[in-house]
Amino acid sequence: TGCLYLVGTPIGNLEDISVRALRILKEADIIAAEDTRNTKKLCNYFEIDTPLMSYHEHNLAVGGEKLLTFLQEGKTIALVSDAGLPCISDPGADIVEKAIAQNFPVVPIPGPNAAITALIASGLTPQPFFFYGFLNRGKKDRRQQLEQLKKRQETILLYEAPHRLKETLKDMEAILGNRRIVLARELTKKFEEFLRGTLAEAIEWSQTEEIRGEFCIVLEGNQEVEVEDSEKAYWHTLSIIEHVDY
């Protein structure tokens, strides 16, 4: 019967593909890819000649119908995105929902993910974390989204395009205050780099450097702990005791 595999692919370094992912890509009847040219390169490198079809943001309806027909015909589909995990700031969620609704098995094949990869080497608290993905492109919407993120105490994970990074960092500092931040650039690639510091430092860096490459942003959560009134009274009593001169 038909089956939808969600296959994780590398975020830069081709060695990061799993043995299982390679087998599924080889055995599937069709590979549904966000950008077939991109996936073709991956397939050529690993000598995979499974037929490719395109499934992306702009053909979700038509592409989705086609994929459902394949599933009904008993075919196995391997869904991939350009990098990392399908569905994570990438196409996939729509067809996953439709396949589940029609009782087709949906099988995840784990693989690299840029945000989690950035998080584990960031040095910021790994959990709890809050994954946001991309902020809106428009300044007003982006600022509104940052206002919503302001109170969150979890470490926050974001994606951002290089040409928007400078502006985004400025908005972040204006709205969130000067928190700790880690910029993870070109993960798993030749020029992988981590910029660890404060938002003010990141802004300073972004002004001196031509911003290139792919970035994940790892932001410290809100550290201003709101103490309950009853707790405040408790700490007050303790500090008085501490000051007693024996």
Contact set with ligand SAM (CB under 6 A): 11-12, 81, 83-85, 88-90, 113-115, 159-161, 184, 186-189, 214-216
Give, rounded to a whole angstrom, the gap between the first and last alpha carbons of the chain.
80
CB-nearer residue toward ligand SAM: 104 or 159: 159
CB-nearer residue toward ligand SAM: 81 or 155: 81
CB-nearer residue toward ligand SAM: 2 or 114: 114
| Least distance from ligand SAM to the Cβ atom of residue 112, Å | 7
Rounded to the nearest 10°, the torsion over CA 15, 17, 20, 23 is -90
The backbone torsions φ and ψ at residue 84, rounded to the nearest 5 degrees and listed phi first, read 75, -145
CB-nearer residue toward ligand SAM: 2 or 24: 24
| Least distance from ligand SAM to the Cβ atom of residue 240, Å | 51
Using alpha carbons, select from 121, 139, 113, 112 the residue that is nearest to residue 183. 121
CB-nearer residue toward ligand SAM: 24 or 184: 184
| Least distance from ligand SAM to the Cβ atom of residue 109, Å | 13
Which regions of the chain does DSSP assign to beta strands (E)? 3-7, 30-33, 52-54, 76-80, 106-109, 129-134, 155-160, 180-185, 193-198, 215-219
Residue type, 69: T
| Least distance from ligand SAM to the Cβ atom of residue 107, Å | 17
Sheet with strand 193-198: strands edge to edge = 129-134, 155-160, 215-219, 180-185, 193-198
CB-nearer residue toward ligand SAM: 190 or 236: 190
Distance from C-alpha of 150 to C-alpha of 221, rounded to nearest angstrom: 8
Q: How far is CA 195 from the centre of its chain?
A: 18
- Residue 100, CA distances (Å) to 4, 24, 77, 107 in order: 9, 20, 14, 11
Query: In this chain, which residue has its C-beta nearest to ligand SAM?
Result: 84
Extract the tokens encoding 207: 């002004």
| Least distance from ligand SAM to the Cβ atom of residue 183, Å | 9
| Least distance from ligand SAM to the Cβ atom of residue 176, Å | 18
CB-nearer residue toward ligand SAM: 129 or 215: 215
| Least distance from ligand SAM to the Cβ atom of residue 111, Å | 8
User: Quick check: 80 and 39 in contact, CB under 8 A?
Assistant: yes
